[in-house]
Structure 1
Amino acid sequence: MGLRFRKSFKVAPGVRFNVSTKSVGASFGGKGLRYSVNSSGRRTTTVGIPGSGVSYSSTSSSGRKYKSSAYTQRNEIVRRQKEIAKLQELERNQLEVEAYENKVEMIKSIHKECDDEVNWLEMKNTPSPFTKGEKGPNERIAEEKLNSYKPGFLSKILKQEEKKKKHLIDNIEKAKLEDQQDYLNWEELVETATNVLDGDIDTYFKVIEEFAPLDDLLEFGSGFEFFMEDPHSIEVEFNVHTESVVPTQVKSLTKTGKLSVKDMPKTKYYDIQQDYVCSSVIRIARDLFALLPLHFVYIHAFDEHLNTSTGHTEQVVILSVRIEKNILQTLNVETIDCSDAMQNFKHNMKFKKTKGFDPVEKLKIES
């Protein structure tokens, strides 16, 4: 029996990967490489709650009627300032409630965001931009501009003809370099696609790093670590940090437009927590299946949990699941309840509506 080596790759919170100009598909096949990294459709809200920006002063009045138009106008201005201040307070309150509702909806809908599937075979068969040894398209265009150049009357008078020609000749050299870079990009694209189709694990990790399919989940503070022993299965460990992601308060507007903030009921908190964790799991699997020719994705969700025997919090596994691509593709991600959807896969999860998650064992990788 041959030896099996386990390789890993880690992405930490706060880390962002920028795809360089030489990265996969930078110049060719870009449309097929990454449609949405989220992104296009990637759904987030940034909210600031500034002060009203309105200052006013008011004095008590005995009901005197002022004859001066300035005094009368001052009273009208004060009245209008008060109305504006109230309106701005209402708008701020509405915005804060909308931000709260949006966050809850977003963390329960993470699984709906996914990049389009990468067609590595199509990329492997992408034709070269030009035949090596021949002139490239950029060089030919630059030469045509030089050959078709005809100096105008003013150029001759001002003796700019030679300067213009030199500029066009310089452009030909620049065009040659652009063609060379395009050809190198194409070679890298084909090589990467070939390696992916051949099941090269190092290339898998390179693709994950450059495409960063889960980078928006890093905004929740989740870190990821990927492990592989064979090209058909990948193992992912990630930290859900539910304490900092799931809100503990419910925000709403009163009938008078005031902001109401109440502690969230425990059952509602744990319900959102479970939806968030399970939604993240399905999203991770969907993105990895879209990016790489995998059959299985093993995902282990970690979170902080109080060990009552020691009094210390520990990082424990709260969900371990084996997602099979063929089964996942049959689910309607727009309408599923992600927590219920775990029943479709082999998984370990202990969850109580009044207590939340309990620690579980990690699933073992099936060979």
Structure 2
Amino acid sequence: MQILNLVISMYRITNRQQVQLDELKAHHLYGCSPIDWLKESVEPFPKYRLGPAEEVWADKEDRYQPSHFSKKIGFSKIVTYYYKYQRNKGRTVDQRIYEKWEERYPFVKKVLEGDPQAWRMAVKKYGQFHRNPSLAKAYSLYVYSNIVECDVYLHTLENVIPYQIEKVTKRGNLRYHIFPKMKRIELYEMYVYSCLNKVIIDLLAVLPCHTIFINGVYGDGYDVEPIISSVIERKKFQQYRCPKRTLQRHRLLVTFKKRSGFCVLNRVYSPRILYDKEDC
């Protein structure tokens, strides 16, 4: 035992390898900025009134009372011209803000109305998870009223978790050690939960949905094997540092074995099936 501990102490994992392993279980720690679509739909200010930037300088101009001496030397004219210049500058800023809001409003309205195409566009434009190829291979998104159903096509254990770990000796020499099978399976479990959490966080941030049905699957669009399925309700959602604990607080279908990993599921949660049963 002492000899084994001595051998282990002679090696340490390289920083590069440690960063790669840490990233696999940290996807959920980086969420995108939430969007308040109701707030986005509200006019920034009444169209035919002064905007906030112009109003500041208009108020200063109205309250400006030059002294007799400043009028006499012409300084008051310079101040008045300055206020008018800043007021015109503020008006330009306000016009740009309002024009940008007018241009964006039709899209915001469609999002609030639950238009499926607008929701997909919102995810594509503001979501982050689909931009990271290391998170998953692909995604499919379906919209039903205020409900989102998302299939996450996960990378397999063989494609994500390395077989060997890069380590360095005290003398600075690189060595490659076999990554124990159960450790690889354990890390892969963390990766799966982290990926699903990241997708959930992004969807809740960029869509005004009430419920998310999310499935982690293997395969492609034609041959799919689900390994995990969950139903997330916005009003009950609370993100924990441990992504597994987060999903366990909601409806969850999963079978995981320490020696073999995830098992393929025979069924998954479906919006139509679940809500039809609850209505009966």
What is the TM-score with the length of structure 2 in the denominator? 0.69
Runs of 4+ aligned residues of structure 1 deviating over 4 Å after TM superposition are: 128-132, 178-184
1:245 corresponds to 2:160: yes
Q: Which of 317, 321, 324 matches 2:230?
A: 321
Letter in 2 for 1:270: I
The alpha-carbon deviation at position 258 of structure 1 amounts to 1.5
Contact 1:220 1:245 in 2 (8 A): no
The alpha-carbon deviation at position 207 of structure 1 amounts to 1.1
The alpha-carbon deviation at position 197 of structure 1 amounts to 2.2
The corresponding residue for 2:33 is 116
The alpha-carbon deviation at position 269 of structure 1 amounts to 0.5
Let me know the Cα RMSD of the aligned residues. 3.1
Q: Which runs of 5+ in 2 are unaligned?
A: 1-10, 55-91, 276-280
Could you tell me how far apart the structure 2 residues matched to 1:326 and 1:339 are?
19
1:355 corresponds to 2:264: no
1:291 corresponds to 2:197: no
1:299 is paired with a residue whose SS is: strand
The corresponding residue for 2:16 is 99
Higher helix share: 2
1:218 is paired with a residue whose SS is: coil
Q: Which runs of 5+ in 1 are unaligned?
A: 1-92, 138-175, 306-313
Q: Which of 332, 339, 344 matches 2:249?
A: 344
Contact 1:128 1:186 in 2 (8 A): no
1:301 corresponds to 2:216: yes
The alpha-carbon deviation at position 116 of structure 1 amounts to 2.3
Could you tell me how far apart the structure 1 residues matched to 2:94 and 2:234 are?
40
Change (3 A) 1:203 1:266: same
Q: Which of 212, 215, 224 matches 2:130?
A: 215
Counterpart mapping for 1:28-177 below 5 A: 97-127=14-44, 131=48
Could you tell me how far apart the structure 1 residues matched to 2:21 and 2:113 are?
42
What is the TM-score with the length of structure 1 in the denominator? 0.54
1:263 corresponds to 2:178: yes
The alpha-carbon deviation at position 130 of structure 1 amounts to 5.8
The C-alpha deviation readout for 1:73-129, integer Å capped at 9, x for no partner, is xxxxxxxxxxxxxxxxxxxx99x9222111111110111111122111221113269
2:14 is paired with a residue whose SS is: helix
1:191 corresponds to 2:106: yes
The alpha-carbon deviation at position 181 of structure 1 amounts to 7.4
1:235 corresponds to 2:149: yes
From the CA coordinates, give the structure whose radius of gyration is larger.
1
Contact 2:44 2:98 in 1 (8 A): no
